[in-house]
Amino acid sequence: MQHCGMHFEELKPQERAFYSTVLNLLNRSGIPYLVGGAYAFACYTGIVRHTKDIDIFVRPDDVIRTLHILDDAGYKTEFTFSHWLGKAYNGENFIDIIFGSGNGIAIVDDLWFEHAVPDTMMEIPVKLCPPEEIIWSKALIMERERYDGADVAHLLRAQAERIDWQRLLMRLGSFWRVLLSHLVLFGFIYPSERQRIPQWVMDELLERLRKEMEMPSPQEKICQGTLISREQYLPDIEQLGYKDARLSLGTMTQAQIANWTADIEEHER
């Protein structure tokens, strides 16, 4: 793993104090957590992005307790979305408390912690989200305003030889076409690096594609586009008669989908 290159000395004193206080609080609480977001991305790729937040990942069963600890410490907290996200604020700065993903797929489970990577952040011991789980969650983000394919490509370029490909295949599961699309794009983005993707992985995915192409198409009209974009495939659900894969797969409730959809307008104001 590369040096993170995150220059915390460039943060304002109140920002640094907020982040370090939160990390120390969580360490003392005993709640298992992982650091992801821009910090973990920088550690794995060497690409630094300065943001006003830190992403903390916890198991779903620990999110309420985490928010209570930060609330008791005097920070404003909210359970933003019941299927994946809470927040803690200190002025303009905030911490994202993440326990899943907006599409209801990448739930934080024990494997995140079993394969976590030890690190030191602002001289505080932490553990980072594994690159495989980061790729899993980012591979399914293809919004009009946010496409994480470049992050996936950069992670592959930096970590290809260290990735547990069997686990990554397991994580994508029935969404293996999404992984194949990213691997095909990787070879386009980095022609000189394409051999770093194991041949057996490409063979496996292309064989799945060949077999699927020989099978009859499913009769049920279902749109899985809602798993990669909460907005761009709403016409398919609302006007064209397709079933929402988020409901069909049992990953989200109708109320959670409605709340997640309503947030689109909030961000467009």
Considering the domain architecture, whether residues 188 and 101 belong to the same structural domain is answered as no
Range of 257's domain? 222-268
Considering the domain architecture, whether residues 112 and 52 belong to the same structural domain is answered as yes
For the chain, the domain total comes to 3
Inside any domain, residue 155? yes
Considering the domain architecture, whether residues 156 and 259 belong to the same structural domain is answered as no
Considering the domain architecture, whether residues 115 and 177 belong to the same structural domain is answered as no
Considering the domain architecture, whether residues 123 and 152 belong to the same structural domain is answered as no
Considering the domain architecture, whether residues 201 and 173 belong to the same structural domain is answered as yes
Inside any domain, residue 251? yes
Inside any domain, residue 80? yes
The CA distance from 174 to 227, in Å, is 12
Model pLDDT, residue 11: 72
Considering the domain architecture, whether residues 237 and 176 belong to the same structural domain is answered as no
Model pLDDT, residue 6: 58
Query: Which of 196, 214, 232 lies at the terminal end of a domain, its last residue?
Result: 214
Model pLDDT, residue 52: 72
From first to last of its 269 residues, the chain has per-residue pLDDT tens of 555 645 566 677 888 899 999 999 999 999 999 999 999 999 999 998 877 789 999 999 999 999 999 999 999 999 999 999 999 999 989 999 999 999 999 999 999 999 999 999 999 999 999 999 999 999 999 999 999 999 999 999 999 999 999 999 999 999 999 999 999 999 999 999 999 999 999 999 999 999 999 999 999 999 999 999 999 999 999 999 999 999 988 789 999 999 999 999 776 54
Query: Which of 86, 105, 129 lies at the terminal end of a domain, its last residue?
Result: 129
Considering the domain architecture, whether residues 23 and 118 belong to the same structural domain is answered as yes
- The pTM of the full predicted model, rounded to 2 decimals, is 0.94
Model pLDDT, residue 61: 97
Token duo for residue 82: 């019941």
Asked if residue 34 lies in contact with residue 69, where contact means CB atoms within 8 angstroms, the answer is no
Model pLDDT, residue 269: 45
Give the number of other Cβ atoms within 10 Å of residue 240's Cβ: 10
**70 contacts: CB under 8 Å, gap ≥ 6:** 22, 25, 77, 88, 95, 97
